[in-house]
Structure 1
Amino acid sequence: MKRIIFFIFLFQAFTFQLQAQIKHIVAKGETVFQIAKKYQITPYDIYRLNPDAKGGVKENTTLLIPKPSTGKAIIHEVGEKETLYGIAKKYNVTVSDLENWNKQQLDGGLKKGQQIFVSKPSSNQVKTPSLFVPDAKPKLDSKTALSNYEVQAKETLYSLTKKFDISQEELIKLNPDLQDGLKIGMILKVPSNGSVITKAKDSVLVAKNKVNLLGSVDKSKQKNLVLLLPFNINKIETDSVKTKTEQLKTNKFLNLTLDFYAGALMAIDSAKVLGLPVNVKVYDVESTKYSSNVASIISKNDFENVDAVVGPFQNSVVETTAQLLTKYNTPVISPLSKERGLPLPNLYYTVPAEDRLRASMFDYFKSKNGNVVAIISAKKTTSKDFIIANHPEVKHALFNDKGALDVALLKTKLVKGQKNFVLMEIEKASTIISITNILKGLQKEYDIQLAVFELYDALNFEEIPMKNLTDLKLLFPSATKIAETPEEKIFEKQFKKINNIYPNAAAKKGFDVTFDAMLRICQPEGFVKSAATTKTEYIENAFDYNSSNGLISNNATYLLYYDSDLTIKQAQ
């Protein structure tokens, strides 16, 4: 298959631009600063496209130089609740770009009414937009969601304002004790955002930076990655051509493997373009529900110098792999399994646990000061027991003797002037239709949003009007987000160009898991420390590994909802 290697990917602090570039051959004695001056750009622009240049440039080295814009720089006026990330995404630039172009304006944090550069200002423009007006009013209001945060070692007021996108004045207003100085271990009230995670037990946030790992890649050492994928080729090779064709049409597990592998190949090709020093080997895991050849693969091949292993898919087989590689301390990444088993120190689950997905939804309810009412059928005892045990504040609607929802009782559970989240767990499509119709009618009096723990099969029943779900903005937790940035769309188009189909969730997972693994093993600190300290995000998946009772799981989740324009969006 012909591979056209042209992939542009978005990172919060790094982006590859589609704009035309100039190739510059470094002359003897030239420095980065001299080259930047020559092209009327900044050294930062050179480092962004040529990370190796940070260590200096050598004669005859080829550098990629972005063509300087000759047009007038674009100025943006900051709106209500806007963040640097949101503005960067809107104008297809990076957060680092905005910070570099607006150092003076952003010194006290981003404020409503500010005017900032969202494209590179030319040398003849003033350092700040001529209409720049500081806004003394704090951007926080009574509806802003707050969380508790424990101050870490070496943190300062300035670093906290950057972390939580808040001014020092606002931070002190929320935490008057800061007037006496910042101390390690202090618990502060801060705006909730995506750069931190929540400890389940005490609801104290722990710092976890979401970073671009590409900027800190160590290219001086060759790294080794192994993919253990269940192709089961030996079984397929004995089949006739007709049977093989039928396998491709009907064997869901084989198609899952092929989709994942197609995404992984895109990641490997992208790594080559970026110059990552990673050698990748792929082994065919012949596995069934009760057996596999993974022990044989490991015994017959040199795994001592393998920096990370992606796969296999089945939980029992991936556990065996991790156990066999414990002696080498090799990280084993479980890419698709939702199951949890042995707490192994080198086993990393990329699929968030079910309890984490549910917790993220209840965190969201709390952040919106929501009134939560559960409508749970009698057969959904597990869900009802979970809510009663973990969230006693939730109110419960009931069904009458005829099996119909008691609407009068439901209305007593709803609150006017407050967001009402109705959590529904129902197995019958006819009951879902009835309940959604009732809730739509009650929207005239109450602010209601429907929520579910997962998109279970009954919700896809063809007789359930999609308008019922979109009008109620059906909310659900998800391990994946919706690809919507220009760079993510480019990935989808490029995948189709190579494979003649658009990538499905398995293909995107293959890319995300493989690319993240390659970037982490290329970090100076290695995979294990990188996973413990940094959060990453790619096409559809983010990775935020945390250990709980010995199990290392990905805690990165998303909340999505059905919007009235028939699209799925991410809840904010």
Structure 2
Amino acid sequence: MGRFLLAFFLVITCGLSSVNAQNFSTHKVKAGETIEEVSKKYFVSPYDIYELNPDAKNGLKANTILIIPLSKAKQPKVTVTKELQGFKEHKTKRKETLYSLAKEYGVTEDDIKKHNTFLYANPLRKGDRIQIPVYKTTEKVEVIEPTKTYVVKPKEGKWRIAYKFGISVNELEALNPGMAEVLKVGQEINVPNLASSEEKTVDEKYGYYKVLPKEGFYRLKLKLGLEQSDLEKLNPGLKETGLKEGMILKIPYTATTGNFSISEKVNLADSISDFSTKRLAVMLPFRLNRVDFDSVADTKRSIKNDPYLNTSLDFYTGVLMAVDSLKTLGVSLELDVYDTKNEMAEVSRIIRENDFENVDAVIGPLTSRNFERAASDLKRWHTPIVSPIGTDLRLYDNVFQARPNDKLLKAKAISFVKADSLVSNILIISDTKNTSVSNELKREFARAKQIFSRKDKDGKEAFFVTRDDILSALKPGKNIVFLETENEGFAANVTSVLASLIRKGNDEEEARKIVLVTTHLNSAFEGDQINNTHLSKLQFHFATGSKAYNENDHRLFLKQYVDTYKITPNNKAVKGFDLTMDVVLRLVSSGDLYLSVKNAPLTEYIENKFAYKKELMGGYYNDSVYLVKYDNLSIVEVKQ
């Protein structure tokens, strides 16, 4: 419920100001709290807080939120002890993981495995009954002073000491108000209370560079001829902290200005060049006029029963996560959010009564008919508008279709099969509704065999095939089977039969390998009747506009989302995050969305990638898709 309430409160107040910190936490001010108390709590200087929160100079107000930069000073040593109190039984549901259960119950994955030893050798499956340990935890905090006194040595200046203690020159000066420009030998100054082993040594074999205001990795590449990866290797910890004004970087003496060429895939976060405030509008069918706010129960019921509101809230949480991430990159963004009520008349009214001429980009509406109305109304100003989920849209010259169309997905699957030189046999299984697709595949693979679902005694489609139907069409070696259907029962029947027909063996004449492919993934392959073990056994391949994120690769995003909304993000939330990041980063790195098509040929985020191409007499469509497969009950990308 928390994410829903937050979304409602932020619909009106979504303006942002520029923030330069690379990593930060937040602090809610208590009544009577001072800046000194807050700075000591987080082991930073008041200057650090003022830098990110200019309004705080006028005094702290209760319940306001401060952005706090992460300190490099020694943190308090916290000793946590746990005492087992008992157990709570949990029956696992579909798509639940050890990670999500650990987060839900506030324990670790190892805690769960320790008391459910079968999980050491087996994956978590739907229907498993597991014992969740319940602990009583106690914490003992050893407070460590954030700073210590340091005596300046011969030949030491500000930059050498700042580098030694892993801070910027600005931060060193903030720790020592009134510090002179030139330090004297023997002078005592304040520095972060680092352990001796954490202090850096200035290596005279290298040069050192002080990061200037608004310098990112892109500008350093132009100036120094060094890639971000080169700088991160020379400067341990840089990958975690990011660049900060006044930071001292170790560089080779030979580092000079070089030429920069954009690779096929571009990380736009390194190419930010425009720090002016950008204005983004988001149009979603919240339909808040239909929500019953009389009680919490009524509100929950309204949300549960309205798929448009559910989808909008999920997508919007992703937008807000992106806004926070963009803030850390120094991007200044003004966000306008509108409730379209899923009505075309409301879409036109919103555009008519608000200043869309000066909007840099619009995301949404979600439904195709409302999106087309908005795109048409915005043509007069050539305002770019991006569709998150629409396919086969009417591409006006201001339209960006972010979701790849079905033809592109089909072509990707077909090209994958054509590129496989080890295939000895191709089989096409479909129901009557997909006869045209089956025939199209037959034209692509002339030697393929076609099998259609059986009919009952009345001549109606029965949505099943027999084992013999398929077995008679298979050959020893590698068989690729296309399955084209939207019927869940038929998909379950075929995948079950195919999985049973795989035959292992060292002899090529005896072994029978089966790989399952579809040109159109739909709900039939994701229903409760489908056995994911069968799909994994068949290495089920399909093309998709977005891949499932890897929890290990995106732990920071996942943690931040769970901490904020108390649930794991679904694909709609991730789409909101990825699309917002891409749109805004294209604006601040290329001037406008149209120019970014050439400057950023391919971008990629958590689950989605974007490579826009322009129609000859129209707008832009995303020409980039993933090929993925089931592998050991997970969905992984197929590298081609």
TM range (shorter): 0.5 to 0.7
1:569 aligns with 2:636: yes
Matches within 5 A, 1:150-161: none
345 and 463 in structure 1: CA distance in 2 versus 1, 3 angstrom threshold: closer
493 and 70 in structure 1: CA distance in 2 versus 1, 3 angstrom threshold: closer
CA distance in 2, matches of 1:70, 1:462: 48
Match of 2:411 in 1: 359
343 and 457 in structure 1: CA distance in 2 versus 1, 3 angstrom threshold: closer
Of 504, 516, 529 in structure 2, the residue corresponding to residue 450 of structure 1 is 516
Match of 1:534 in 2: 601
TM-score of the pair, normalised by structure 2: 0.57
Match of 2:559 in 1: 493
* SS of corresponding position for 1:523: helix
Of 534, 553, 559 in structure 1, the residue corresponding to residue 621 of structure 2 is 553
552 and 374 in structure 1: CA distance in 2 versus 1, 3 angstrom threshold: same
295 and 466 in structure 1: CA distance in 2 versus 1, 3 angstrom threshold: closer
Name the stretch that deviates more: 251-260 or 549-558: 549-558
CA distance in 2, matches of 1:401, 1:70: 66
19 and 420 in structure 1: CA distance in 2 versus 1, 3 angstrom threshold: farther
Task: Kindly indicate whether the alpha-carbon contact (under 8 Å) linking 1:7 and 1:491 is maintained by their aligned counterparts in 2.
Answer: no
1:261 aligns with 2:316: yes
Match of 2:429 in 1: 375
Q: Which runs of 5+ in 1 are unaligned?
A: 9-17, 30-34, 58-64, 72-91, 94-119, 124-158, 164-208
548 and 436 in structure 1: CA distance in 2 versus 1, 3 angstrom threshold: farther
Task: Kindly indicate whether the alpha-carbon contact (under 8 Å) linking 2:586 and 2:592 is maintained by their aligned counterparts in 1.
Answer: yes
Task: Kindly indicate whether the alpha-carbon contact (under 8 Å) linking 1:315 and 1:341 is maintained by their aligned counterparts in 2.
Answer: yes
TM-score of the pair, normalised by structure 1: 0.63
Match of 2:161 in 1: none
Task: Kindly indicate whether the alpha-carbon contact (under 8 Å) linking 1:475 and 1:560 is maintained by their aligned counterparts in 2.
Answer: yes
265 and 439 in structure 1: CA distance in 2 versus 1, 3 angstrom threshold: closer
Match of 2:299 in 1: 244
Name the stretch that deviates more: 212-221 or 248-257: 212-221
Task: Kindly indicate whether the alpha-carbon contact (under 8 Å) linking 2:293 and 2:299 is maintained by their aligned counterparts in 1.
Answer: no
1:423 aligns with 2:516: no
212 and 43 in structure 1: CA distance in 2 versus 1, 3 angstrom threshold: farther
Of 303, 327, 332 in structure 2, the residue corresponding to residue 272 of structure 1 is 327
Of 501, 506, 513 in structure 2, the residue corresponding to residue 441 of structure 1 is 501
* SS of corresponding position for 2:432: coil
* SS of corresponding position for 1:509: helix
* SS of corresponding position for 1:476: strand
Name the stretch that deviates more: 211-220 or 403-412: 403-412
CA distance in 2, matches of 1:36, 1:324: 60
1:55 deviation in Å?
Answer: 8.5
Task: Kindly indicate whether the alpha-carbon contact (under 8 Å) linking 2:217 and 2:271 is maintained by their aligned counterparts in 1.
Answer: no
Deviations 1:320-341 (A, max 9, x none): 1111111211110011223x23
1:524 aligns with 2:593: no
Name the stretch that deviates more: 44-53 or 509-518: 44-53
CA distance in 1, matches of 2:496, 2:207: 57
* SS of corresponding position for 1:271: helix
1:385 deviation in Å?
Answer: 3.9
CA distance in 1, matches of 2:296, 2:468: 64
* SS of corresponding position for 1:330: coil
Matches within 5 A, 1:14-25: 22-25=166-169
Task: Kindly indicate whether the alpha-carbon contact (under 8 Å) linking 1:480 and 1:558 is maintained by their aligned counterparts in 2.
Answer: yes
Of 265, 272, 277 in structure 2, the residue corresponding to residue 217 of structure 1 is 272
CA distance in 2, matches of 1:455, 1:316: 24
Which residue identity does 2:597 align to in structure 1?
A
Task: Kindly indicate whether the alpha-carbon contact (under 8 Å) linking 1:429 and 1:459 is maintained by their aligned counterparts in 2.
Answer: no
Match of 1:311 in 2: 364
Task: Kindly indicate whether the alpha-carbon contact (under 8 Å) linking 2:413 and 2:518 is maintained by their aligned counterparts in 1.
Answer: no
Deviations 1:384-406 (A, max 9, x none): 24424555564424667888757
1:570 deviation in Å?
Answer: 1.4
1:461 deviation in Å?
Answer: 5.0
Of 540, 543, 554 in structure 2, the residue corresponding to residue 477 of structure 1 is 543
Matches within 5 A, 1:505-524: 505-524=571-590
1:342 aligns with 2:486: no
Match of 2:355 in 1: 302
* SS of corresponding position for 1:218: coil
1:383 deviation in Å?
Answer: 2.4
Task: Kindly indicate whether the alpha-carbon contact (under 8 Å) linking 2:488 and 2:527 is maintained by their aligned counterparts in 1.
Answer: no
* SS of corresponding position for 1:23: coil
RMSD: 4.3
Task: Kindly indicate whether the alpha-carbon contact (under 8 Å) linking 2:499 and 2:537 is maintained by their aligned counterparts in 1.
Answer: no
Task: Kindly indicate whether the alpha-carbon contact (under 8 Å) linking 1:405 and 1:435 is maintained by their aligned counterparts in 2.
Answer: no
* SS of corresponding position for 1:210: coil
Which residue identity does 1:536 align to in structure 2?
T
1:347 deviation in Å?
Answer: 0.8
1:491 deviation in Å?
Answer: 0.3
Task: Kindly indicate whether the alpha-carbon contact (under 8 Å) linking 1:313 and 1:337 is maintained by their aligned counterparts in 2.
Answer: yes
343 and 392 in structure 1: CA distance in 2 versus 1, 3 angstrom threshold: farther
Match of 1:148 in 2: none
CA distance in 2, matches of 1:68, 1:53: 14
* SS of corresponding position for 1:380: helix
CA distance in 1, matches of 2:558, 2:567: 9
* SS of corresponding position for 2:620: strand
CA distance in 1, matches of 2:273, 2:342: 35
Task: Kindly indicate whether the alpha-carbon contact (under 8 Å) linking 1:398 and 1:409 is maintained by their aligned counterparts in 2.
Answer: no
Which residue identity does 2:503 align to in structure 1?
Q
Task: Kindly indicate whether the alpha-carbon contact (under 8 Å) linking 1:267 and 1:511 is maintained by their aligned counterparts in 2.
Answer: yes
1:259 deviation in Å?
Answer: 1.0
1:429 deviation in Å?
Answer: 2.5
1:345 deviation in Å?
Answer: 0.7
Task: Kindly indicate whether the alpha-carbon contact (under 8 Å) linking 2:516 and 2:539 is maintained by their aligned counterparts in 1.
Answer: yes
Which residue identity does 1:524 align to in structure 2?
S
Deviations 1:296-322 (A, max 9, x none): 222222122211111111111111111
* SS of corresponding position for 2:613: strand
Q: Which runs of 5+ in 2 are unaligned?
A: 1-5, 11-18, 25-69, 73-164, 174-180, 183-200, 225-230, 241-248, 253-260, 457-461, 505-510
1:52 deviation in Å?
Answer: 6.1
Work out the percentage of aligned pairs sharing the same amino acid: 28
Which residue identity does 2:481 align to in structure 1?
V
Larger radius of gyration: 2
359 and 553 in structure 1: CA distance in 2 versus 1, 3 angstrom threshold: same
Which residue identity does 1:24 align to in structure 2?
S
Which residue identity does 1:333 align to in structure 2?
V
